[in-house]
Structure 1
Amino acid sequence: MKAYQFGNSAIRRFMMTLAFLAVSILALSGCGMDPGSTDSGKLRITATTGMIADAAQHVGGDYVEVTGLMGPGIDPHLYKASQGDVRKLDHADIIFYNGLHLEGKMGEIFEKLEERKPVVAVASKLTESQLLGNPASTGEAVHDPHIWFDVKLWMSAVEVIRDTLAEKDPAHAEQYAANAEAYLAEMEKLDAYAREQIASIPEKSRILVTAHDAFGYFGKAYGLQVTGLQGMNTMSEYGSKDVSELRGFLVEHGIKAVFIESSVSSKSIESVIEGAKKLGHEVRIGGELFSDAMGDKGTPEGTYLGMVKHNVDTIVESLK
C-alpha cells in the first residue's frame, strides 16, 4: 500500500477510524444476522465503485442484488467507509473491489471480512505486463489502478466476476456465463468504437490534459498522450510548480482544450487555464469527463458503457 505522509494527529484519527470499523464488523457478525442470500434466493453483492457494481449487475442479472458503495462524483482515493457501509459489506455474500490500492483506506476492512466470505479484487487476473506503473509511488501501490479505461482490460474484470458468481452459485453458472458473454460482446463493440473515434483526431492534437492522471490506460489503448496536474492518486497535492509546468506544456504544444472530471474539483485545472491566459494563450474547458465515478443513475453516463462512450465523444468533439 502506498505510504502517505501524515502528521501525528492525522495518524491517530486514521487508526481510531480503523479500530472503530473493525469493532463494527465484529459486532455486526455477532448479531445473528444471516449473511446468506436474500429471502428471494438472490445473492447479495456489495461492490465498491459504480463500474464494478454495473458489471456485477450485468453478469448476475436476475439472480443477484447489487449494492454499490461509491455513487456519482465520489472519489475512491479519498473514500472512507461509514458504519452503514460496513453493514452492507457484512451482509453481502460476495464483495467485489478494484484492487491495486484504489480503495487503499478500506484495505484492513477487506482483510477482516475475507476470513468469512469471498472478497474479490476484479483486477486479480491482470499480469504485470498489462499494468502501468505509478511513478509517484513510494510504497506498495506501484501500479496505476484505473484499469477500466482500457475496455479490453476491464473485460478481464467481468470474467473475474463471472467466475466468482459461478463458483458461489453453481446452479446458475450457465446463466452467468451467458450474461457475461452478451456483456463482453457489447464491450468489444465499445472498444472498436473508441479506437475508430480517437483515430479521427489529427495526430498532433491527440493530447489529453486532465485534473489528475487517471487516463493512462485510456491513452495507451487508444493512442493519446495523457498528462494530469495531479498524480494518479488525488490524495497527492499539487503546487505552484506543477501549475507552472502544465501551463508551459499547454503553451508549448498549442493545446486549446483541457478537461475537468466529475469526481475531482475543477479549481486546479482552472488555475492552469488562468496561468496560460496571462501568457497570451487561450485555453478552454473541453468538457467534463467521468474518471473515478460514473454519472447519475438512470442516465447513459450512469453505466460503464455509457460513461466510456461519453468520454470518447467529448474528447473527440473538443480535440478533432
Structure 2
Amino acid sequence: MKKYLAIFILVLVACVAPAWAFAAKVQVAVGVAPVAYFAKKVGGELIQTTLLVPAGADAHTYEPKPSQMRSLSGAALYLSAGLEFEEAWEARLKSANPKMLWVETDAGLHKLPMPEGHDHHDKGHKPKAVNAAHAAHDAHDEMDPHVWVSPAQARKMSATIAEALAKADPAHAKVYAANLAALEKEIDALDAELKALFAGVPAQKRSFLVFHPAWGYFARDYGLTQTSIEFEGKEPSPKRLAAIVVLAKAQGARAIFVQPQMSQRTAGVIAKAVGAKLVVADPLAEDWAANLRQVAKGFREALQ
C-alpha cells in the first residue's frame, strides 16, 4: 500500500511541478558576487552559479585557482563585469571552455574615468597574467569598473544577463523575461528610495571620504562626490596624507568608508586625526540590494 502511495505522490508532483524543475540547470560562471546576484534573480531555479572571486578577496588582482578553471568546463555562460582580473585572464578563462559564451555585462554602459592618478596596475597591483590586449588597455585612461553600484547601471546589466540566458536556454526565455521584469521593479523602487534619501542635502555637504574609489557611479547617480585616500593604486605619500587630513577637517568628515578586502591602517590614521569613524562599505557584498541600502544610509549619516 505504501509503495502505491509513493508512486501516486510522484505522479502527482510530476503533473503539478513546472517542466524546468526536472531539467538540468544552466551552469553560469560569474566573476563577482553582485553580478551573481543579478544572475540569480533573473535565472531563478533554472540556473546554478559558480563564483570566482570569494568574499574578502581583491577583485582587481584576483588570480583564479586551478580548481576554478576546471569548474568552467561545464559552464554555458561567463558573466564578466570588465574587472582587471577578467581582462588579464580572459584568454585563459575562455580556453578553459571554448564552448562557453563570454558575456560582457558592462557592455554599452557609460563609464567614468578613475580619479586622476589612480592606476591599479602600479606597484603591487599588476596581475601576473597580463596579455598584450591588457597592456594596450593600460595605455589609455583607466575606467572605473565598479558599474554595479549604480542602480541605473545594474538595471542594464540585468537586461544583458536575461538576454544571454535566453540565448543559452531559449526554451525558458519567457521565464527569464518575467524574472527580469520583477527585478527591474525592485531596482526602480530602490533607486527611488535612495533618491529620496539624499534629497535636500545641501550642496556643501555632499562629499564623502573613501579609501578606495569604488563608489563613483553611486555618487554620480545621487549628486554626491567621493574623495579617495588611495592614490595610484597604493597608499598615499606622507605629503598627500597630510593634504587629505586638511581636506577631511575642512569638510567636517564624520566617517571614512573602507572595504573589508583592503588594509584599513591608513584610513584609521586619518580617522583618528580628524575625529572620524571607520565605516565598512563593501561594493562586493553578496546581497546587492540590502548592501546598497545599508551603504547609502551610512553615506547619508556621514553627510549630516
**TM-score, normalisation: structure 2:** 0.80
Structure 1 counterpart of 2:275: 282
Quote how far apart the aligned CAs of 1:237 are: 4.4
1:120 equivalent to 2:100? Answer no
**Contact 2:195 2:222 (8 Å CA) reproduced:** yes
CA distance in 2: counterparts of 1:84 and 1:319, whole angstroms: 45
Deviations 1:22-61 (A, max 9, x none): xxxxxxxxxxxxxxxxx94110011010001111111011
How far residue 200 of structure 1 moved from its aligned partner, in angstroms, is 4.4
In structure 2, C-alpha distance between the alignment counterparts of 1:188 and 1:105, rounded to whole Å: 34
- 1:312 matched residue in structure 2: 296
Is 1:271 matched with 2:285? no
After TM superposition, list the pairs within 5 Å mapping 1:199-278 onto structure 2.
199-231=199-231, 235-274=233-272, 277=273
Report which of the two structures shows the higher radius of gyration computed on alpha carbons.
2
Seen in structure 2, the aligned counterparts of structure 1 residues 114 and 87 have a Cα distance that, compared at 3 Å, is closer
Secondary structure, counterpart of 2:229 in structure 1: strand
Structure 2 partner of 1:48: 31
Runs of 4+ that moved beyond 6 A: none
Aligned partner of 2:71 in structure 1 is 88
Gap runs ≥5 in structure 1: 1-38, 295-301
Q: Deviations over 1:85-119 (max 9, x none)?
A: 10222221111110153634423323435742201
Confirm or deny: 8 A CA contact 1:47 1:67 kept in the other structure.
Answer: yes
Please say if 1:175 is aligned against 2:175: yes
Report deviation, 1:241. 2.8
User: Any conservation in 1 of the 2:105–2:157 contact (CA below 8 Å)?
Assistant: yes
Q: Does the CA-based 8 Å contact 1:194-1:309 persist in structure 2?
A: yes
Q: Distance in 1 between matches of 2:199 and 2:262?
A: 27
SS in 1 for 2:84: coil
How far, CA to CA, are the matches of 1:110 and 1:236 in structure 2?
A: 28
Kindly provide the CA deviation profile for residues 230-251 of structure 1, in whole angstroms up to 9, marking residues without a partner as x. Answer: 14x8x44432233222112112
The separation in 1 between residues aligned to 2:264 and 2:83, in whole angstroms, is 26
Q: Which residue of 2 aligns with 1:189?
A: 189
| Corresponding letter in the other structure for 2:185 | A
Answering whether residue 102 of structure 2 is matched by residue 133 of structure 1, we say no
> What is the CA-CA distance between 1:262 and the residue it aligns to?
2.3
Give 3-state SS (helix, strand or coil) of 2:24's partner.
coil
Change in CA separation of 1:102 and 1:83 when aligned onto 2, cut-off 3 Å: closer
Q: Which amino acid aligns with 1:48?
A: G
Give the whole-Å Cα distance in 1 for the aligned partners of 2:245 and 2:173.
53
Q: Distance in 1 between matches of 2:277 and 2:66?
A: 42
Q: Within 5 Å, which residues of 2 pair with 1:16-95?
A: 40-95=23-78
CA contact (8 A) 1:80 1:105 kept: no
Q: Answer yes or no: is the 8 Å Cα contact 1:46–1:67 preserved in 2.
A: yes
- Paired with 1:86 and 1:215, the residues of 2 have a C-alpha distance of 30
| Alpha-carbon RMSD | 2.3
- Give 1:142 shift: 2.5
Could you say what secondary structure the match of 1:230 adopts? Answer: coil
State the Cα distance separating 1:213 from its structure 2 match. 0.8
Q: For residues 60 and 177 of structure 2, what CA distance do their matches in structure 1 show?
A: 32
Count residues with an aligned counterpart.
265
Question: Which whole-Å CA distance do the structure 1 matches of 2:204 and 2:219 have between them?
Answer: 14
Q: In structure 2, how many angstroms separate the alpha carbons of the residues matched to 1:83 and 1:115?
A: 17
Distance in 1, matches of 2:255 and 2:249, equals: 11
Counterpart amino acid of 1:306? A
What code does the residue aligned with 1:309 have? R
Alpha-carbon spacing, 1:230–1:268, altered in 2? closer, same or farther (3 Å): same
- Paired residue secondary structure (1:133): coil
Comparing 307-316 and 69-78, the one that deviates more: 69-78
